[in-house]
Structure 1
Amino acid sequence: MSGMGTKWLAGALLGLPLAVALCTLAIIGLPGGWESGVVAAVVTCLPLWVAIICCSLLFRSSRAAWLWLAGANLLCFGLLWALRLLHVAPSAVLASLPAS
Structure 2
Amino acid sequence: MNGMGTKWLAGTVLGLPLSIALCTLAILWLPHGWETGVIGALLACLPLWAVIISLSVLFPTSARAWTVLAAANVLSFGVLWLPRLMVA
Into which bin does the TM-score normalised by the smaller protein fall?
over 0.9
Counterpart position of 1:13: 13
* Higher percent of residues as helix: 2
Report the Cα offset of residue 2 of structure 1. Answer: 5.8
Q: Give the letter for the 1:17 counterpart.
A: P
Choose 1 or 2 for highest CA Rg. 1
TM-score (norm 1): 0.82
Q: Which structure 2 segments of 5+ residues have no match?
A: none
Tell me: CA distance 1:82–1:27, structure 2 relative to 1, closer, same or farther (3 Å).
same
- Where relative contact order (Cα < 8 A, 6+ residues apart) is larger, the structure is 2
Counterpart position of 2:36: 36
Tell me: CA distance 1:2–1:12, structure 2 relative to 1, closer, same or farther (3 Å).
same
Q: Give the letter for the 1:50 counterpart.
A: A
Report the Cα offset of residue 70 of structure 1. Answer: 0.1
* Structure 1 residue ranges (4+ consecutive) displaced by more than 4 angstroms after TM superposition: none
* Contact 2:14 2:73 (C-alpha < 8 Å) held by counterparts: yes
Instruction: Calculate percent identity across the aligned residue pairs.
Output: 62
Q: Which structure 1 segments of 5+ residues have no match?
A: 88-100
